[in-house]
Amino acid sequence: MTQKNNGIFNREKAKDFTDTDTDIDGNSNSTAVASIGTPEDTPADFDKAIETAGFGRFNLILFILAILGTCANMFESTTMSYILPIAECDLHLTLTDKGVLNACAYAGMIISAIPWGYLSDTKGRRKVLVCGYFLTCICVLGSALSQNFIMLVTFKFLCGLMVNGPAAVLYTYLTEMHGPKYRSYVLMVVGMITSLSLLILPVMAWGIFPRDWDFVLFDSLNIHSWQVFLFVCALPSLFSGLLITALPESPKYLMSQSRNVEALQALQRIYHINTGKPKDTYPIKSLILEVPSRDAQKDEVIYTIGEKAADKTEPVKRPSRSLLESLRAGMLQMKPMFHKPLLGLALQCFTMQFTMFLGLNSFRLWLPQLFSSMADYEAEFVGEDVSASMCTIIEYSVNKTAETLTNHENACAVPKTISMDMYLNNIIVSACGVVGYLLAGSIIRLIGTKRLLTYGLFISGILGMTLYWSFNSLMTIIISSAFITVACVSVSSLLGAVVALFPTQLRSLVVATAMMCGRLGALSGNLLFPVFMQIGCLPPFIMVGAAMLIAAVFSIVIPNPKKATFT
């Protein structure tokens, strides 16, 4: 009984009692399930423990966190695309400058991806989320006070540097807080919230940009409506950081670090919030040891996972480690990712993420600029028999930006007003994305995640090239809505596959690295898109469509996530 109370379970003796059934989402249980004894004295695996904690108010809090955190993440990569048409005169922007502003946040994300992923797998999910969101809020406020192009680029780079940690870890944290019954739906829900956050941005722009909010702050800072817009965009990061301070660390992470006492306390807290019952009435009294038991050491700088011992009947006491020793242990922890079978799988996922983000985010972030140019073009030639084809709009946008730069005083003599059609078009595209995610759940049940990923990428690749033949504004809106909706669903499907295909101690690192590759693709695409726009009409859409089709080919050989083991 002493061994059971200490949470020690001999897996060798329990092989005959192992539950080999898979969960309803196709994932097998993460560890062996001891099915002997009563729930009170039988060590439980994570899936059983989190399921026993219930589903209720705590999961509602997680849903609120998902909304706030996802909005914070998406705002940082998207806000620039909405302020570029408005801030063009204030910041003296060229077409290349606009591409740099769209891309600079991704540059920060690329640099910080590996450090954030490592810190998440060693210091914990909760600490990364709290620190990351608070630091992001500070950087966003700095960008809102920017007075010139250099200042804005610098702060947007810092925003990307800070937000990349919580952006990647949020997926892992939400997944590890749910049992197998709900786990397969978590990332799709996050994807739907992602699309909803993209709907919130044009609605906010619609409410803020037309206002005459030009004033001077502290007798030296000129504030315009687009800076007020950025101030408002800092709120989700602030509220996310505040909310996470009230939430526990991921029990799954704590178990993977052999901190079962803390994991059990977190589960008891979740149980108390969900049911309203006292913590000591939580049925599970001990947890299966995934690694030898140890407590947090006083002088230990970073927690890393220990090696599994052959004999798990005695707790192993670990001496405190120096920072160098902890970093060395962390590198050993990452070693499996550089060997078969994980290496090949990781390279496939990273390549797909690069090409998908290159195609999707290049077009998505330039779409508000194109819609703005479309509205200006139709307003300038109203009543005339002219067609607002995609090629016409691109040529008009390039010429208009050049005119603003060379003849700034005349072009910017009157404050720039954006037609309401620009906001409405962006709202329509984002609303279609929300509807697409609502339908995606039913489609997944019919064809599965892998087929949805492959079919979605092929369809989006074809749609991306079809934009070249768009001959009026209505056709442009329809194709753009379909392309962005299908592509966003595909991106979420890939992230769900990454979470399912890699083990717990590598999961955040792999997700962060995949996101880094995606950011690199987005950065490359946003720098190339204006260059291709100046070359001609066809090259930008060849780039967008070809990138999605390359990802589609790689998706064919990705293992089926439904058959993966959640470990």
Q: pLDDT tens track of the chain, all 567 residues?
A: 444 444 433 433 334 433 433 343 334 343 333 334 444 567 888 888 888 888 889 989 999 999 999 999 889 888 998 888 888 888 888 888 999 998 998 888 888 877 887 788 778 889 999 999 999 999 999 999 998 999 999 999 999 889 888 887 888 888 888 887 787 678 678 877 887 888 898 899 888 988 878 888 887 888 888 999 999 999 999 999 999 999 999 888 888 888 888 888 999 999 999 888 888 888 888 888 765 544 544 444 333 333 343 334 344 444 444 556 555 555 555 566 666 767 778 888 889 989 999 999 889 888 888 888 888 887 777 666 666 788 888 888 888 877 777 776 676 766 666 777 778 888 898 888 888 777 776 777 787 778 888 899 999 999 999 988 888 888 889 999 999 888 888 887 787 677 677 776 676 677 777 877 888 898 999 999 988 888 888 899 999 999 999 999 988 887 766 665 544
The Cβ of residue 15 has, within 10 Å, a number of other Cβ atoms equal to 9
Q: Which residue has the tokens 């030296």?
A: 220
Q: How far is CA 429 from CA 93, 199, 424, 426, in A?
A: 26, 8, 9, 5
Of residues 54, 99, 26, 15, the one with CA closest to residue 363 = 99
Are 467 and 480 in contact, with CB atoms under 8 Å apart? Answer: yes
Between helix 57-91 and helix 180-208 the angle, nearest 10°, is 30
All structural domains of the chain, each given as residue ranges with its CATH number in brackets, are: 57-247+339-563 (1.20.1250.20)
Which amino acid is residue 384, in one-letter code? E
Of residues 179, 175, 143, the one with CA closest to residue 158 = 143
DSSP at 317: P
Q: How far is CA 552 from CA 321, 431, 514, 558, in A?
A: 45, 25, 16, 10
Are 377 and 391 in contact, with CB atoms under 8 Å apart? Answer: no
In sequence order, the 6+-apart residues with CB closer than 8 A to the CB of 86 are 209, 224, 225, 226, 416, 418
SS (H, E, C) 26-78: CCECCCCCCCCCCCCCCCECHHHHHHHCCCCHHHHHHHHHHHHHHHHHHHHHH
Please give the Cα distance from 67 to 498 (Å, whole number).
Answer: 21
Rg (the chain; Cα; Å): 25
